[in-house]
């Protein structure tokens, strides 16, 4: 294997954990197939990130330029394209995040390069790298092989690899920006913070969370009864907030909030990875879902495989009895 | 505003048992129910809202079998002028870059202001087609959009980031947007619209109509090979609560209250 590029991701003065996860994944490729791990960093005032990345890579290439003060996929694409032509890596890893998915597919088209998105695992067969990708909301896996010419481009799902501890002392090289002027056709304007709601679900001790399985808003009182019986706060998956059953500040998951309550009761939630990422740290997880293969059960401590409309009212009734 | 909206017919597998078929490269879809991809449904609504506010026309594009016509007609019933569906067994529907190539061939010949599609399909979830399509068309894009404001020759859009944060970006038109769920409230197709939709143009096209060579978009021409599908081992350490619904509820309630979980 030739060199491996890992595009580091950061936002608002923070290096995102997925950068280190990808460097760990890249190191595992390098130890199986050879090659060097190069962290690529684009930003403004990011010396400290470059230093940190050096602990996880053989070398760090970084551009420090006000042009990259904020993420802009079009600018990133131009620079990545130029650096890839210059350094000829064999493998390029970009995070499958809101930044990465806004850029990697266009880069793949531009470079006419083999591309596998949303990779959750890496397998090695006969000296070849086989990325693993999930289909049908995690119910099916697929193994891929590259056919075309390198570089091979992957986007890597967050939390799929363990970041590990810094164990390298890579060289750090600051390079001139291949992009000399700002672009006009896409401009970053500003960040908008999440709206603050009446309750902060990330502080709640007991969460009763609902998902698509609740079917209709008119079924919400049944959940409110349960929450009232145990002094719980109602939260939900993306499906529940998209449907307007709950306000967005009650959304658990990657695009909402991370929670770690004492008890998390997941009702009619299948458990998309974005949701699991936000709640798997809960102390006790109880999942009620009629599909025994629902991914939510992979993180649950107690599994109730049944029709939620039959179980929840009875559960509320029993809880009320027991708690007097 | 001349708009194209790319939509996909997908199986609802949220509660379905998914089985791999004999080829090991596909799933047995004989028992699935199908509908419009969730995020695409929001893209349809956004286009109809823009048309209502600013005028314009909407063309729906879809790759897939004749069964997808139901999904296309439902979109046409909500608003929009015409649709085209590409059905060709030579197309490798699993490769998002090849799908983007087919869609680009459909759009390239015409003038357009805005192309929208869902940011993700619920079956393949590549989150790639829209952004790849923008590159094929040589226009700017923004992915995971949850608010669109139309300016003069440009768009101001809100992109959803992680942790509840959003960013606002301005992009020039023409452009491609991938639409995130929750951006609007998709309407139900009105009865009258459903009747009218039956009369709207729905072209069915093959590769030859698009002037695409087979090798650009077939499996042999893909730069990656899907080796095999398999069912992942679900590692669950959960204690399974057995019994009738009432018994399960009682056992769980006891654990919560007497077991000290609460």
The predicted-structure confidence for B63-79, as pLDDT tens digits, reads as follows 999 999 999 999 999 99
Contact check, Cβ <8 Å, A270/B15: yes
pLDDT, tens only, A174-211? 999 999 999 999 999 999 998 888 889 999 999 999 99
Is residue B43 within 8 Å of residue B78, measured between CB atoms? no
Residue of B nearest to A282 (CA): B261
Closest CB to B234 among A112, A213, A297: A297
Same domain, A147 and A268: no
Average pLDDT score over chain B: 96
Domain span including residue B127: 2-217
Handedness of CA B60, B65, B68, B73 (dihedral sign): positive
Residues 6+ apart with CB under 8 A from A124: A32, A33, A130
Residue of B nearest to A112 (CA): B223
Average pLDDT score over chain A: 96
Number of Cβ within 10 Å of residue B157's Cβ equals 26
Compute the average pLDDT of residues B160-174: 96
Compute the average pLDDT of residues A10-29: 97
What residues does A6 pair with on adjacent strands? A39, A93
Is the residue at B236 inside a domain?
no
Contact check, Cβ <8 Å, B252/A310: no
Closest CB to A194 among B128, B165, B236: B165
- Chain A touched by B235 (CB under 8 Å): yes
- Chain A touched by B191 (CB under 8 Å): no
The pLDDT, as a whole number, for residue A197 is 82
Is the residue at A15 inside a domain?
yes
pLDDT confidence bin for A293, thresholds 50/70/90? confident
Give the span between the Cα atoms of A275 and A288, in whole angstroms.
15
Domain harbouring A46, CATH code: 3.40.50.620
Give the span between the Cα atoms of A302 and A281, in whole angstroms.
15
pTM: 0.94
Residues 6+ apart with CB under 8 A from A103: A73, A76, A77, A80, A94, B131
Domain harbouring A249, CATH code: 3.40.50.1220
Same domain, A151 and A217: no
pLDDT, tens only, B205-236? 999 999 999 999 999 999 999 999 999 887 88
Is the residue at A264 inside a domain?
yes
What residues does B201 pair with on adjacent strands? B82
Is the residue at A194 inside a domain?
no
Q: What's the gap in Å between the CA of A284 and the closest CA on chain B?
A: 7
Is the residue at B227 inside a domain?
no
Same domain, A73 and A16: yes
Among A174, A193, A227, the domain-final residue is A174
The pLDDT, as a whole number, for residue B143 is 98
Is the residue at B8 inside a domain?
yes
Is the residue at B136 inside a domain?
yes
Is the residue at A185 inside a domain?
no
Compute the average pLDDT of residues A13-42: 97
- Chain A touched by B123 (CB under 8 Å): yes
Give the span between the Cα atoms of A225 and A43, in whole angstroms.
50
Q: Tell me: pLDDT of A145 over 80.
A: yes
Is the residue at B60 inside a domain?
yes
Same domain, A123 and A261: no
Contact check, Cβ <8 Å, A140/B17: no
Residue of B nearest to A226 (CA): B253
Give the span between the Cα atoms of A250 and A241, in whole angstroms.
8
Same domain, A235 and A146: no
Give the span between the Cα atoms of A44 and A12, in whole angstroms.
10
pLDDT confidence bin for B16, thresholds 50/70/90? confident
Instruction: Give the distance from CA B78 to its chain's centroid.
Output: 17
The pLDDT, as a whole number, for residue B124 is 97
If one counts the domains in chain A, the total is 2
Q: What's the gap in Å between the CA of A41 and the closest CA on chain B?
A: 19
pLDDT, tens only, B32-70? 999 999 999 999 999 999 999 999 999 999 999 999 999
Same domain, A29 and A157: yes
The pLDDT, as a whole number, for residue A49 is 98
- Chain A touched by B182 (CB under 8 Å): yes
pLDDT, tens only, B68-126? 999 999 999 999 999 999 999 999 999 999 999 999 999 998 999 999 999 999 999 99
Same domain, A210 and A312: yes
If one counts the domains in chain B, the total is 1
Same domain, A52 and A129: yes
Give the span between the Cα atoms of A292 and A303, in whole angstroms.
9
pLDDT, tens only, A221-254? 999 999 999 999 999 999 999 999 999 999 999 9
- Chain A touched by B254 (CB under 8 Å): yes
- Chain B touched by A14 (CB under 8 Å): no
Contact check, Cβ <8 Å, B257/A322: yes
Closest CB to B168 among A118, A189, A287: A189
Is the residue at A190 inside a domain?
no
Contact check, Cβ <8 Å, A141/B231: yes
Is the residue at B89 inside a domain?
yes
Is the residue at A233 inside a domain?
yes
pLDDT confidence bin for A324, thresholds 50/70/90? confident
Cα first-last separation, chain A: 66
Same domain, A30 and A151: yes
Is the residue at A184 inside a domain?
no
Q: Tell me: pLDDT of A33 over 80.
A: yes
Contact check, Cβ <8 Å, A114/B158: no
Same domain, A161 and A68: yes
Is the residue at A110 inside a domain?
yes
Half-sphere exposure of A60 (CA within 13 A, CB side): 28
Is the residue at B131 inside a domain?
yes
Same domain, A79 and A211: no
Number of Cβ within 10 Å of residue A128's Cβ equals 12
- Chain B touched by A298 (CB under 8 Å): yes
Is the residue at B70 inside a domain?
yes
Same domain, A94 and A59: yes
pLDDT, tens only, A37-53? 999 999 999 999 999 99
Verify cis geometry, omega within 30 degrees of 0, for the bond prior to B69. Answer: no
Which chain B residues are closer than 8 Å to A97 by Cβ?
A: 162
Closest CB to A315 among B166, B185, B253: B253
Give the span between the Cα atoms of A16 and A263, in whole angstroms.
28
Contact check, Cβ <8 Å, B128/A115: yes
Closest CB to B164 among A141, A255, A287: A255
The pLDDT, as a whole number, for residue B193 is 97
Q: What's the gap in Å between the CA of A145 and the closest CA on chain B?
A: 5
Domain harbouring B45, CATH code: 3.40.50.620
pLDDT, tens only, A79-91? 999 999 999 999 9
- Percentage of chain A beyond pLDDT 70 is 100
Contact check, Cβ <8 Å, B132/A304: no
Domain span including residue A31: 4-174
Which chain B residues are closer than 8 Å to A315 by Cβ?
A: 249, 252-253
């Amino acid at each position: 294997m030739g060199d491996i590029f890992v595009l580091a991701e950061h936002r608002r003065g923070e290096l995102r954990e997925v950068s280190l996860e990808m460097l760990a994944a890249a190191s595992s490729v390098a130890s199986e197939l050879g090659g060097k791990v190069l962290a690529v960093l684009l930003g403004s005032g990011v010396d400290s990130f470059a230093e940190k990345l050096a602990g996880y890579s053989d070398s760090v290439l970084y551009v420090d330029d006000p042009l990259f003060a904020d993420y802009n996929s079009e600018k990133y694409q131009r620079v990545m394209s130029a650096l890839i032509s210059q350094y000829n890596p064999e493998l390029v890893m970009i995070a499958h995040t809101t930044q990465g998915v806004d850029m990697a597919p266009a880069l793949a088209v531009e470079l006419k390069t083999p591309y596998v998105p949303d990779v959750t695992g890496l397998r090695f067969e006969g000296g070849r790298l086989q990325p693993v990708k999930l289909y049908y909301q995690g119910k099916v896996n697929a193994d891929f092989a590259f056919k075309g010419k390198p570089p091979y481009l992957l986007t890597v799902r967050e939390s799929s690899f363990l970041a590990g501890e810094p164990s390298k002392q890579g060289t750090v090289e600051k390079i001139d920006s291949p992009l000399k002027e700002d672009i006009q056709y896409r401009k970053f304007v500003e960040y908008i913070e999440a709206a603050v709601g009446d309750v902060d679900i990330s502080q709640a001790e007991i969460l009763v969370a609902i998902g698509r399985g609740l079917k209709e808003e008119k079924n919400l009182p049944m959940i409110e009864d349960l929450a009232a019986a145990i002094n719980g706060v109602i939260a939900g998956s993306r499906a529940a907030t998209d449907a307007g059953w709950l306000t967005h500040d009650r959304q658990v998951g990657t695009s909402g909030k991370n929670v770690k309550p004492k008890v998390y009761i997941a009702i009619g939630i299948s458990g998309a990875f974005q949701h699991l990422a936000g709640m798997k740290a809960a102390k006790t997880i109880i999942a009620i879902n009629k599909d025994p293969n629902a991914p939510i059960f992979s993180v649950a401590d107690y599994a109730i495989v049944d029709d939620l409309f039959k179980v929840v009212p009875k559960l509320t009734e029993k809880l009320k009895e027991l708690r007097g | 505003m001349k708009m194209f909206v790319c939509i996909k017919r997908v199986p609802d597998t949220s509660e379905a048992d998914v089985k791999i078929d004999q080829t090991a490269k596909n799933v047995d879809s004989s028992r699935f129910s199908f509908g419009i991809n969730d995020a695409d449904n929001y893209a349809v609504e956004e286009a109809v809202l823009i048309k209502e506010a600013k005028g314009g026309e909407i063309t729906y594009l879809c790759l897939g079998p004749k069964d997808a016509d139901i999904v296309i007609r439902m979109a046409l019933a909500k608003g929009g002028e015409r649709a085209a569906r590409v059905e060709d067994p030579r197309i490798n529907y699993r490769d998002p870059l090849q799908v983007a190539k087919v869609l680009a061939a459909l759009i390239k010949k015409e003038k357009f202001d805005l192309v929208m599609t869902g940011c993700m399909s619920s079956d393949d979830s590549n989150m790639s087609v829209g952004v790849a399509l923008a590159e094929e068309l040589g226009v700017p894009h923004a992915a995971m959009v949850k608010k669109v404001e139309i300016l003069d020759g440009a768009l101001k859009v809100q992109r959803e980031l992680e942790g509840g944060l959003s960013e606002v970006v301005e992009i020039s038109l023409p452009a491609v947007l991938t639409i995130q769920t929750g951006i609007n409230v998709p309407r139900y197709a009105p009865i009258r619209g459903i009747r009218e939709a039956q009369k709207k143009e729905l072209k069915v096209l093959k590769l030859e109509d698009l002037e695409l060579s087979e090798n650009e978009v077939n499996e042999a021409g893909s730069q990656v090979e899907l080796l095999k599908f398999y069912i992942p081992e679900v590692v669950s350490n959960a204690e399974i609560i057995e019994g009738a619904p009432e018994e399960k509820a009682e056992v769980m309630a006891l654990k919560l209250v007497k077991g000290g979980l609460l």
